[in-house]
């Protein structure tokens, strides 16, 4: 069949090699210098082990552009475009029918990676991807200020609210007038869906949609969680948090103007940069919980997946196993800062010597919860849009929790209609 690839796709699929032989596999490679070094080492192992050739693919850096490109390629069932690639956490359900079934090929890996991360990659009982590296929401705090005010890190949201209120007032009384207790991502976008999931699930309010695809948001605990977060705005969180994404909230904390911050793990390295005003004063911990709940962190990260249209599935699986190996995950951490998905590496002396902060993250990763993406499949974007817009309405004072969960339940039922598809 003749392939017609528009300009954007053709540019995105520029190969580092002109080889077109049938045993040439194509793998996505991060475009950075460190990414290329990692990929070249994978190439050497793969070619020596299998006798096949590996070429690299450049893809758009923006997640939405990359997903759109994959959807075009897979709609055409293009077997020559790509074999192994990185899929965002929320893509597995969207791309399910275009992903090679890995269930029988990766059985040995299933007990070696973080359970929640692997569960994210299971659709209808079949494994469709393998976690490449981990990311999740976490609570950052100023350990120097907790010591100054003789406070312990908060276990519950009630603890956080009390401590944030007290220390915020104390710092303002001391002359730091623009100091806040807590910053987070409150803008109406995907990041707010993650925050809302953490608040609701940690209050025993469920996960909006359960693993079987049932919509569960209309309950009193979920309403209570949304009202709790709305109560922070203008009190311990700046009104401007309603416009914050990750990179709007981080500078407030990193400049020394906040006690607590909810953010992803990338912020730790930046907070400890030699130029950071709060270097050496920061710690990270699992997010708080309700008095009778458990700590919940939304799962991020990326996952290795194989195109269902690959011409050589056995070689593609061999390549997947190489990039997922212990040594490859160590190399990815060293070169690109990718937090490993293999649990054993969080007790590996080499890993902890190189990245000692990872010792604090294992517990956070163990409690990571996927967004309801695999079960809602191609409709996840609509689902997330409904969640973050409803949550924003509560945060901004245009709705209350009780009304919001009723409206969101109804909206999600309409999106689901006769079933997730």
Residues forming CATH 3.40.190.10 domain(s) in the chain:
7-135+300-361, 138-298+376-416
DSSP state of 331: H
Q: What is the C-alpha separation between 364 and 358, in angstroms, rounded? A: 10
Confidence (pLDDT) at 367: 78
Query: Distance of CA 120 to CAs 90, 174, 286, 298, Å?
Result: 8, 47, 20, 11
Confidence (pLDDT) at 366: 85
Confidence (pLDDT) at 61: 79
Q: What is the C-alpha separation between 197 and 208, in angstroms, rounded? A: 7
Q: What is the C-alpha separation between 203 and 200, in angstroms, rounded? A: 5
Q: What is the C-alpha separation between 333 and 351, in angstroms, rounded? A: 8
Query: How does strand 297-298 pair with strand 258-263?
Result: unpaired
Whether the Cβ atoms of residue 402 and residue 223 lie closer than 8 Å to each other:
yes
CA nearest 184: which of 61, 288, 274? 288
Confidence (pLDDT) at 319: 98
Cα angle 339, 343, 348 (rounded to 5 degrees) comes to 80
Confidence (pLDDT) at 7: 45
How many CB atoms within 10 Å of residue 360? 16
pTM of the model: 0.85
Topology (CATH) of 7-135+300-361: D-Maltodextrin-Binding Protein; domain 2 (3.40.190)
Q: Which residues contact 223 (CB under 8 A, 6 or more apart)?
A: 205, 400, 401, 402, 404, 405
Beta strand extents in 29-136 (DSSP E only): 53-57, 84-88, 122-123, 126-127, 130-133
Which residues of the chain are under the pLDDT cut of 70? 1-22
**Lookup: tokens for 277:** 């005003």
**Lookup: tokens for 134:** 């981990």
CA nearest 116: which of 248, 18, 211, 17? 211
Tokens 């061999």 locate to: 318
Query: How does strand 130-133 pair with strand 302-306?
Result: antiparallel
CA nearest 262: which of 292, 227, 236, 280? 236
* Concatenated DSSP letters of 16-31: SS----TTEEEEE--S
Tokens 């950071």 locate to: 276
Q: What is the C-alpha separation between 337 and 90, in angstroms, rounded? A: 21
Confidence (pLDDT) at 290: 95
Tokens 């060293």 locate to: 334
Q: What is the C-alpha separation between 267 and 152, in angstroms, rounded? A: 22
Whether the Cβ atoms of residue 246 and residue 135 lie closer than 8 Å to each other:
no
Total count of residues recorded for the chain: 421
307: left (phi over 0), alpha (psi -120 to 50) or beta: beta
Topology (CATH) of 138-298+376-416: D-Maltodextrin-Binding Protein; domain 2 (3.40.190)
Confidence (pLDDT) at 1: 36
Tokens 């995950």 locate to: 329
């Amino acid at each position: 069949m003749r392939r017609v690839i528009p300009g954007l796709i053709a540019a995105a699929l520029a190969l580092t090699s002109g080889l077109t032989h049938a045993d040439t596999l194509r793998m996505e490679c991060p475009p950075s210098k460190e990414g290329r070094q990692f990929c070249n080492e994978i190439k050497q192992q793969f070619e020596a082990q299998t006798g096949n050739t590996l070429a690299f693919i450049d893809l758009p850096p923006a997640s939405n552009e990359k997903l759109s490109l994959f959807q075009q390629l897979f709609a055409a069932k293009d077997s020559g475009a790509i074999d192994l690639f990185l899929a965002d956490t929320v893509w597995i359900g969207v791309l399910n029918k275009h992903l090679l079934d890995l269930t029988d090929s990766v059985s040995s890996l299933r007990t070696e990676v973080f359970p929640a991360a692997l569960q994210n990659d299971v659709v209808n009982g079949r494994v469709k991807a393998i976690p490449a590296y981990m990311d999740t929401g976490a609570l950052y705090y100023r350990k120097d200020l907790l010591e100054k005010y003789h406070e312990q890190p908060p276990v519950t949201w009630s603890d956080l609210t009390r401590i944030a209120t007290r220390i915020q007032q104390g710092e303002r009384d001391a002359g730091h007038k623009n100091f806040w207790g807590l910053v987070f991502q409150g803008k109406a976008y995907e990041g707010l869906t993650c925050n809302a999931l953490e608040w609701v699930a940690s209050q025993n309010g469920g996960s909006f949609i359960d693993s079987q695809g049932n919509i569960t948001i209309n309950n009193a605990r979920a309403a209570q969680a949304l009202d709790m977060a709305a109560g922070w705005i203008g009190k311990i969180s700046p009104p401007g948090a309603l416009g914050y994404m990750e990179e709007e909230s981080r500078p407030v904390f990193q400049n020394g103007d906040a006690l607590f911050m909810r953010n992803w793990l990338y912020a730790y390295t930046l907070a400890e940069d030699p130029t950071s005003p709060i270097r050496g004063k920061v710690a990270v911990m699992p997010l708080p919980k309700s008095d009778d709940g458990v700590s919940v962190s939304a799962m991020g990260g990326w996952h290795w997946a194989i195109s269902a249209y690959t011409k050589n599935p056995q070689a593609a699986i061999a390549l997947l196993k190489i990039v997922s190996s212990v040594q490859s995950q160590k190399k990815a951490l060293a070169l690109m800062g990718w937090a490993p998905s293999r649990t054993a590496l969080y007790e590996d002396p080499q890993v902890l010597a190189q990245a000692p902060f990872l010792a604090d993250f294992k517990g956070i990763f163990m409690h990571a919860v996927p967004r309801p993406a695999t079960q809602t499949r191609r409709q996840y974007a609509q689902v997330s849009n409904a969640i973050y817009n409803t949550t924003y309405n509560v945060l901004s004072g245009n709705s209350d929790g009780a009304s919001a969960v009723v409206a969101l339940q109804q909206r999600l039922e309409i999106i689901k209609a006769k079933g997730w598809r």
